[in-house]
Amino acid sequence: MISLTSPVETRAHGWPAGAKLVALCAAIVVLFATDVLAAHAIFLGLTLGLYALPGRRFLRTGLNRLKPLWIFAAVILIWHVVTADPRAGLVIVLRMVTAVALANLVTMTTRLTDMMAVVRWLLTPLRRFGLRTEVVELAMALVIRFTPVLAEKGRLLALAWRARAVRRVGWRIVTPLAALAIDDAEHVAEALRARGGVAVTQVDRPGGRQ
């Protein structure tokens, strides 16, 4: 899931988060259950149709969030062309793009708090084994929240590179992007500490009682 909730209100925004996540899991199972190229082309077409239903703005926003996939798609296709199996490469690419597009569609139409509520419910039984579910919930929320943020900062770094250099953007922006990610992580950690951090329960304290 690579984007935040869409500002364009759709009918899907009012659907239960749990139902959408279950439907996503079922769709992923179907995608991996077939290797028929035509079927995957149809699946991708239907997914793009779902993006188009709310209007051009929603479609444009959703497709922009999928742009980072082209690098992975190109690598997969090139590899399968070299290994003389381009059909398998097309199936993998179509499956990957459809799966990520569906996951992105869920995040665009679901509030982060609603998804975390589902995760909290799913992890509740694990508390009996000492798992601090609030830490897992926070980690997942941060990943979902900061993935598009880092992607945008990477895009801005690439634009800055093109404005100042003749050579193409390459691995050289990895270091400044990593530095930005670490800087963001430090700011988030400081903000969490300022707000008391993740609450420590009596069970988590040394010598605490059940």
Res. 19: pLDDT tops 70: yes
Calculate mean pLDDT across residues 174-193. 85
Res. 205: pLDDT tops 50: no
User: What is the model's pTM?
Assistant: 0.70
Res. 105: pLDDT tops 80: yes
Number of neighbouring beta carbons within 10 Å of residue 63: 14
Give the pLDDT confidence score for residue 158 in this predicted structure: 83
Going from N- to C-terminal start, the domains of the chain cover 11-110, 130-194
Between CA 133 and CA 123 the distance in angstroms is 6
Give the pLDDT confidence score for residue 50 in this predicted structure: 92
| Tens digit of each residue's pLDDT (9 = 90 or more) over 28-85 | 999 999 999 999 999 999 999 999 988 888 988 888 888 878 888 888 999 999 988 8
* Angle 146-147-148 from CA coordinates, rounded to 5°: 95
Give the pLDDT confidence score for residue 126 in this predicted structure: 80
Res. 124: pLDDT tops 70: yes
Between CA 154 and CA 160 the distance in angstroms is 10
Between CA 52 and CA 16 the distance in angstroms is 21
Is 135:128 a contact under the CB 8 Å cutoff?
no
* Maximal C-alpha separation, the chain: 64
Give the pLDDT confidence score for residue 201 in this predicted structure: 42
Gyration radius of the chain over CA positions: 21
Would you state the structure tokens that stand for residue 151, as one six-digit string?
């992607």
